Chain A
Amino acid sequence: MAVPDEEELIAKKDVLKLTGISYGQLYRWKRKGLIPEAWFVRRSTFTGQETFFPKEKILSRIELIRSLKEEQSLDDLVRVLAPETKPEGVKHDRPTALAPVGSEGHRLLWKDGGYTFAELVALACGAQVLRAGNRLAEAKLVLDLVRAAEALLRDPTGVSVILAEKSIDGEGVSVRFSFALLGREPLRLDREARIKGQLDLERLVEQVKAALREG
């Protein structure tokens, strides 16, 4: 996973030395989902492969874990951080309570509960389409498309969803239909297609994560 160059990195062994934690603790916290997978940056050094972390993030996270550990609220912290670190474990029962889905999303629900992270993002996409004043059928089109693209949500950088419309006129008949398109930018449509809306999946993923953290 890409880490911006300007972010200062620290080697794993230096993290241990600096904080005094053990390998066992670090690996346990990773398993519990307290340290995001994306923070483990593997780099080749003269001694072979080594793991580095974004320095500021890892040090403040360890401090956070330690401060909470004493209050035995580590499991609460796991829950709070879960959407960020292990989105595949999310099961949510009240999607409309999340701001990105909202009350508009109510019309899109298809089951009572147990919505996965990908399904929540799909709902948020559909709700956004509704909020922009499009038809319910169009929102469902987008929803189904995003639901089917679960694998892309792991790395949604530069992924967009486009809702577009096309009309065909001829022999006294005029047909207008909507379609949706999902992919990594740059996405191109032909000139006869009219774009009705465009969603930035990366931003929606972040919004859903943020909403899950708060709620």
Chain B
Amino acid sequence: MAAQSISISGSGRVAGGEYAQVKISGSGRVEGDVVAQEIRVSGSGRFGGSVQAKEITVSGSGKFTGRVEADVLVTSGSCGIDGDAEVKELRTSGAQRVGGSFRGHYVRASGVLHVERDLEADVFTSSGRFEIGGLLNADRVEVKLVGDSRAREIGGETIDVRPGAGFSLGLSLTRGLRFGIGIGTLTVDEIEGDEVHLEATTAQVVRGGRVYIGPGCRIGRVEYRESLEVHPEAEVGERVKA
């Protein structure tokens, strides 16, 4: 059976079901669970049930009440998911919020990303602001700091946190922090990784194999297995070779 497509360009309300394409460019509401090849929201779209799609694009405002499963989710507008999200590839340059936990392979965030619980991915790259209520777990975590980001825990193989672009203007990082001019920071309770490079990061504990604590960092305790290097413009409370 070939699934049909729906397009809401005025204001409309449709039932859930199986569709090839769901396009909302006006204001639309979908009641019930949806399975679709493609979902595009450029106006304002609300989904009342769970959503399963190959590709979801939100350039307007999208609100998902249930669980969202997708191969690709691209957000350039504002996208709110109340439940859990399982998205293989997330690319967001807008505001993305997940009320539950997020699971996927690849995350590239350059806007504002907010996940209430855990975020799991193979690769996580951010050049925006993020807030993770639980554990950020990825093989590779690459962060270019812009604004103030937070996570309860970060764990993985390689963790690399550096100031974002626009900072390398010859200003010393600590001086910049002192005057609080446009420099991003990261605040985390606990960071664990095999290869850890941190700058402008505040953490209670950092545990790792090879650890570099760069300028602007304030770390309560570092436990390292192989090597530890601390920049003179960093504060480290305790250093322990495990």
Contact = CB atoms under 8 A, between A and B. Distances in A.
B235 interface: no
Contacts of B208: 23
Interface in B145-163: 155-158
B194 A48 contact: no
Interface in A4-62: 12-13, 16-17, 22-24, 26-28, 30-31, 47-49
Given A13-B223, A48-B189, A48-B221, A23 B205 contact: no
Contacts of A88: 84
Contacts of A49: 189-190, 204-205
Contacts of A16: 225
B242 A47 contact: no
B209 interface: yes
Given A13-B207, A49-B190, A24 B139 contact: yes
B49 interface: no
A22 B242 contact: no
A88 B157 CA distance: 26
The interface centre, meaning the residue of A16, A22, A31 with most chain B CB atoms within 10 A of its CB, is A31
Interface residues on A, range: 10 to 19
A48 B193 contact: no
A152 B223 CA distance: 38
A23 B194 contact: yes
A48 B204 contact: yes
B189 A23 contact: no
Nearest to A31: B120
Interface of A: 12-13, 16-17, 22-24, 26-28, 30-31, 47-49, 88
28 contacts: A12-B192, A13-B207, A13-B223, A23-B192, A23-B193, A23-B194, A23-B208, A24-B156, A24-B158, A24-B193, A26-B155, A27-B138, A27-B156, A27-B157, A27-B192, A28-B139, A30-B120, A31-B103, A31-B122, A47-B221, A47-B238, A48-B189, A48-B190, A48-B205, A48-B220, A49-B189, A49-B190, A49-B204
Given A26-B155, A27-B157, A31-B122, 16 more contacts: A23-B155, A23-B156, A23-B193, A23-B207, A23-B209, A27-B137, A27-B155, A28-B157, A30-B120, A31-B103, A31-B120, A31-B137, A47-B221, A47-B238, A48-B189, A48-B221
